[in-house]
Structure 1
Amino acid sequence: MPKHSPKGGKSQQNDKAEAERRQIETLKANVTRAVDNVQRLALAGNVSNTERGIKTAQEAMKNPKLPRDFTQIETARLKKLELESYTKATDIAIRKAMNAAKADDVELKYKLVSEAKGLMQKAVSLKAPADFKTSALRMIEAVMLSGSIVKEGPTKAKPLDTAPKPPDRAHMPDTVETPDRAHMPDRVPTPDRAHDQSDVPQA
């Protein structure tokens, strides 16, 4: 039987190692591309799409062939980008609320303020800097002081009430006035019989 030369065996090992290296580089490129996509979404303040992108990147990083130090670096990037998406979304919601306040759209203003507060709390839970919350609350306060506090007239939430209103009890007398007894005769006068022409004359 022909013997395999040591040189040929080493060449096969090198080829196998090269193929594995290329596979790992491909896996790393896929992860990097997924994380870069998350970065694009986070900078746009698109929270829901950012969360979906993070899950996609995390799935790609589960391959055991990926180097541990590489996955640690990309995982740290994802955490920062998740925080970035919520801080950006908070700022966008506050600015939209200010525009609604300037347009005197009270309902939209309160809706966006509530949304901004929820996004802010999520950012705080993701270890946002302390000055972020302080700045966000100051901007929200400015929004609340802008525009009308209560919108006049009917709204979608409170349409015009066309039902008749009950009388105001404050302007109604407690009892019905009765005639003054002092100015009323004790009895109804009867006709004077002496001048009553209805008497029949005597024959």
Structure 2
Amino acid sequence: MVGFDQKIDPGDETEKRRIIEMTLSIESAIMRLNKLADIGATVRCEAATGRLAEVLKNPKLPRKFCDESRRAIDALMLHAFMKATDIAAKAAIDAAMKDDQDSRADCIREARENLRGAMKYKAPREFQLKCERMIETALLTGGVKAKGPTKAKPLDTPTDGDETEASTGTPSEA
């Protein structure tokens, strides 16, 4: 409450109001960033993080608020990269099970890129090992079965008269 002897500076009040509006805007942007991180949209998260980093450079914002916001942003970026890595690694394994080599290679590349991003934001070592095992599993899965007959396993089609010879191994009595 303002005392009788204090004068209210209208410029000071508007400045305080602007700072409060900026902090509310930053908090709502962090909430939107949380939703993006939950779905693993790393590109959109990085763009939003860049914009937030520029806003947080304002010297009029409280230092404690800026530090807390930066920690929250880093945690959300870690979450986004971990989620995107996990999604891409699982997609790579699914593509390998379906024997889709091109899709598998694309998903493995994406998983490795997202894993690098997660490690940049200090992901746990266990997460890195888990993802590397998933990528290795995707690399070793699929591409084994040949589509159609091969020299080792030719197409087994019986002919009209030779059906009994092929099945018994002895000539039939005719």
TM-score range with shorter-chain normalisation? 0.7 to 0.9
Q: Distance in 2 between matches of 1:80 and 1:60?
A: 18
Deviations 1:103-131 (A, max 9, x none): 21112112211221221122112211010
Alignment of 1:104-123 (within 5 A): 104-123=99-118
Q: Distance in 2 between matches of 1:151 and 1:93?
A: 26
1:91 maps to a residue whose letter is D
- The answer as to 2:80 corresponding to 1:61 is no
Give the structure 2 partner of residue 195 of structure 1.
none
Q: Distance in 2 between matches of 1:131 and 1:78?
A: 22
**Normalization by structure 1: what TM-score?**
0.64
Q: Distance in 1 between matches of 2:41 and 2:121?
A: 16
- The structural deviation recorded for 1:135 is 0.7
- The structural deviation recorded for 1:81 is 1.3
- The structural deviation recorded for 1:61 is 1.5
Q: Moved runs in structure 1, 4+ residues, more than 6 A?
A: none
- The answer as to 2:52 corresponding to 1:82 is no
Give the percent of matched residue pairs that are identical in Structure 1 and Structure 2: 31
Q: Distance in 1 between matches of 2:146 and 2:105?
A: 12
Q: Distance in 1 between matches of 2:56 and 2:18?
A: 14
**Normalization by structure 2: what TM-score?**
0.74
Q: Distance in 2 between matches of 1:124 and 1:152?
A: 39
1:47 maps to a residue whose letter is T
Cα pair 1:54 1:78 within 8 Å, conserved: yes
Alignment of 1:192-203 (within 5 A): none
Q: Distance in 2 between matches of 1:151 and 1:34?
A: 51
- The structural deviation recorded for 1:92 is 0.7
Q: Decide whether aligned partners of structure 1 residues 125 and 59 sit closer, same or farther in structure 2, where only a CA change above 3 A counts.
A: closer
Q: Distance in 2 between matches of 1:149 and 1:133?
A: 28
Aligned length: 146
Tell which deviates more after alignment, 125-134 or 112-121.
Answer: 112-121
Q: Decide whether aligned partners of structure 1 residues 102 and 16 sit closer, same or farther in structure 2, where only a CA change above 3 A counts.
A: same
Q: Distance in 1 between matches of 2:144 and 2:111?
A: 18
Q: Distance in 1 between matches of 2:92 and 2:18?
A: 49
Q: Distance in 2 between matches of 1:47 and 1:55?
A: 12
Q: Distance in 1 between matches of 2:93 and 2:110?
A: 13
Which has the larger share of helix? 2
Alignment of 1:108-187 (within 5 A): 108-149=103-144
Alignment of 1:29-40 (within 5 A): 29-40=24-35
Cα pair 1:83 1:126 within 8 Å, conserved: yes
Which structure exhibits the higher relative contact order, with contacts defined as CA atoms closer than 8 Å and separated by 6 or more residues? 2
Aligned CA RMSD, in angstroms, stands at 2.3
Tell which deviates more after alignment, 63-72 or 111-120.
Answer: 111-120
Q: Which has the larger radius of gyration?
A: 1
Give the structure 1 partner of residue 66 of structure 2.
71
- The structural deviation recorded for 1:44 is 1.0
Alignment of 1:9-48 (within 5 A): 10-13=6-9, 17-48=12-43
